[in-house]
Amino acid sequence: MIKPDEQQFLRQIEQNKGAIIKVSRMYMDNLEDQQDLFQEIVMQLWRSYGSFRKESLFSTWLYRVAINTALMYFKKEKRRPDQHELTVDIDVVDEFDSERKEEQLRYFYQAVQHLNPVEKALIFLFLEGQSHRDISINLGISEVNARVKLNRTKEKLQQIIKTQGYEF
């Protein structure tokens, strides 16, 4: 029998599954690693669920736990000797109607793989609609620093996409 806390947790995970998928795709470049990271994030969320004090939105707490888990997972993966090379064949979740959007998304995630972990977190939080203030709180930096770093990261991402020979 599922306890009320477990039911609430599972509902919250289902509602925020898209954010966890985005984090997984931003930090890992192949489907298998993305799925492993997704599971690792959900496990870490469950382990930490008892410490969620409901002082913020569940989604805000989830972002922080997901990014921290991804950063730790990413560091572990970096130490593995069998690194995967970035390939054009990254599987894209079939959530978009047109082939053009799928192609754009593939190029975007390929470009994101060239960012450092903090830049990935900035882009993720931006894509989740977080304000500069919220981004600064989540990453523990000043609001001005969040704004500057985000703008620089967006410019860097555009340059990476251009060098790949693709522009949106």
Per-residue pLDDT tens digits for 112-131 = 999 999 999 999 999 989 99
pLDDT in tens, 27-43: 998 889 999 999 999 99
For 93, which DSSP code? -
Instruction: Say if CB 30 and CB 84 are below 8 A apart.
Output: yes
Q: Please state whether the predicted TM-score (pTM) of the whole model is above 0.85.
A: no
Instruction: Say if CB 41 and CB 23 are below 8 A apart.
Output: yes
For 2, which DSSP code? -
- The Cα 141–Cα 124 span in angstroms is 16
Answer whether residue 81 shows pLDDT above 60: no
- The Cα 51–Cα 64 span in angstroms is 13
- The Cα 76–Cα 70 span in angstroms is 10
